[in-house]
A and B are shown apart, each in its own frame.
Chain A
Amino acid sequence: RKEVEQDPGPFNVPEGATVAFNCTYSNSASQSFFWYRQDCRKEPKLLMSVYSSGNEDGRFTAQLNRASQYISLLIRDSKLSDSATYLCVVNRGSGNQFYFGTGTSLTVIP
């Protein structure tokens, strides 16, 4: 079983829509969770760290469910500029081993 699993999509949504991505992780010892955004032919950039209490940054909300071992990313009021690949990343703790999901492709359509 893969360390981190994501639905690769693609997700094609109209502008203004709300879209949610989920990601599951297999190791219950995982401690740190992140969502990265990667534009075509660019490097991944940190979108949000994900905290146990959940956290929000503008139109983006991240949630962590430790019992079910999944994290989610909710994007409200989608913009054309949100089109990208969203990568779920998990770290087991303070170590330097980061595990990447396959990425979920989002296209926001006018």
Chain B
Amino acid sequence: DTEVTQTPKHLVMGMTNKKSLKCEQHMGHRAMYWYKQKAKKPPELMFVYSYEKLSINESVPSRFSPECPNSSLLNLHLHALQPEDSALYLCASSIRDRGSRGANVLTFGAGSRLTVL
């Protein structure tokens, strides 16, 4: 079982819909991430929150809106998406891994598979 929980697992939405993806972790991690992954491609970074503040936005279109209500939760609000936004959306979290000589290790959730019609 993954320690990062994402809901929903699958989402189908029309281009005029508004929906949200949710992510939760209770590992005490202070950095949380959204990645987008298309088939046969590596994950592509969208946003990073560090200590509940947005620290990285990789020039993501405004139809994707992240929100970090507290240190355990991360949301991704979706509005007016395009069919090409269909992908697997992965949430991840990280903290310095004391067992790995100070390395900061990413832990991923199982992902939300989004289809935009």
Chain A residues at the B interface, C-beta cutoff of 8 Å: 31-32, 34, 36, 41-46, 49, 51, 87, 89, 91, 94-98, 100-103
Q: How far is the CA of A96 from the CA of B34 in the complex (A)?
A: 12
Q: Which residue of B lies closest to A32 (CB)?
A: B103
A87 touches B42 (CB 8 A): yes
Besides the contacts A94-B96, A95-B104, what 4 more A-B pairs have beta carbons closer than 8 Å?
A: A43-B2, A94-B104, A98-B45, A102-B41
Q: Which residue of A lies closest to B109 (CB)?
A: A43
Residues of A within 8 A of B75 (CB): none
Residues of A within 8 A of B108 (CB): 43-45
Residue B115, interface by CB 8 Å: no
Q: How far is the CA of A46 from the CA of B100 in the complex (A)?
A: 12
Residues of B within 8 A of A32 (CB): 100, 103-105
B111 touches A96 (CB 8 A): no
Q: How far is the CA of A95 from the CA of B102 in the complex (A)?
A: 11
Interface size grouping (class) on chain B? 20 to 34
B106 touches A89 (CB 8 A): yes
Q: How far is the CA of A42 from the CA of B108 in the complex (A)?
A: 10
- Nearest CB in chain B: distance from A99 CB, A: 9
Q: How far is the CA of A36 from the CA of B86 in the complex (A)?
A: 23
Q: Which residue of B lies closest to A48 (CB)?
A: B100
B101 touches A51 (CB 8 A): yes
- Nearest CB in chain B: distance from A32 CB, A: 4
- Nearest CB in chain A: distance from B11 CB, A: 15
Residue B48, interface by CB 8 Å: yes
Query: Could you tell me which residues of chain B, from 16 to 69, have a CB within 8 Å of some CB in chain A?
Result: 31, 33, 41-43, 45, 48, 50, 55-56
Residues of A within 8 A of B94 (CB): 96
Q: How far is the CA of A102 from the CA of B48 in the complex (A)?
A: 20
* 10 nearest CB pairs, A to B: A100-B42, A43-B108, A32-B103, A49-B100, A96-B31, A96-B48, A43-B111, A43-B110, A103-B42, A44-B108
Q: Which residue of B lies closest to A87 (CB)?
A: B42
